[in-house]
Chain A
């Protein structure tokens, strides 16, 4: 799936993720998590990576693997390795003023396993896996 750098592409990303998950009879919580991971990465590229307005700004590929869903995401934004981001301080260190920076990447890292990043020919390339218990397939 190729996405232009426009927030309106989220609807297509959601629809195609749903189609993939239904095709493979994956449980709803898996669809929810895959959708969440992809939205967070795509929106991060739009808002912080300079992908807003780019044609063919991002690419997504999903595949069923024996132990879950393999997620490949790439964008042409500025170099950004989310595997190096420290866990953000969204948690209520100070109850009145919780910090929310980096929340999306924090969620991605909570959900995804085997998170890998490479910078290849001007693309941020991420690979990860959302585990699926075998009885849930």
Chain B
């Protein structure tokens, strides 16, 4: 089960993602992140309440990052737990995404 909510903090649009970003939730996660990227110049995915991510969730994040790059938007991922960060690190995606320990705003 995954839940995504949006809020504005300063000049950032923050997508707060809660729960599990597994294969069942991946489409909803991608859709939430991409729609924020479509509509805002600076988007942060706040993963501080994200309990779990699999390769399907990673793909969703990567697709959002690609969409941001195409549209010349800023996209950052922040607040990951140690377990979630480990999955990013194992995948190599930490090398292509902007990752902050805390929210940039």
A residues with CB within 8 A of B: 7-8, 10-11, 14, 28-29, 32, 35-36, 39-40, 43, 90-92, 95-96, 98, 100, 103-104, 106-107, 110-111
A39 and B54 contact, CB distance less than 8 A = yes
B residues with CB within 8 A of A: 20, 22-24, 52, 54-56, 58-59, 62, 69, 82-83, 86-87, 90-93, 95-96
Closest A residue to B53 by beta carbon equals A36
B95 and A40 contact, CB distance less than 8 A = no
A28 to B24, CA, bound (A): 21
Residues of B near A103 (CB, < 8 A) are 55, 58-59, 91
A28 to B52, CA, bound (A): 11
A100 and B59 contact, CB distance less than 8 A = yes
Question: What are 15 A-to-B residue pairs whose CB atoms are below 8 Å?
Answer: A8-B24, A10-B22, A32-B83, A36-B87, A39-B54, A43-B54, A91-B92, A98-B62, A98-B92, A98-B96, A100-B59, A103-B58, A103-B59, A103-B91, A104-B56
B62 and A107 contact, CB distance less than 8 A = no
B91 and A36 contact, CB distance less than 8 A = no
A92 and B55 contact, CB distance less than 8 A = no
Closest B residue to A105 by beta carbon equals B55
Within the complex, which residue of B52, B91, B93 is in contact with A32, where a contact is CB–CB below 8 Å? Answer: B52
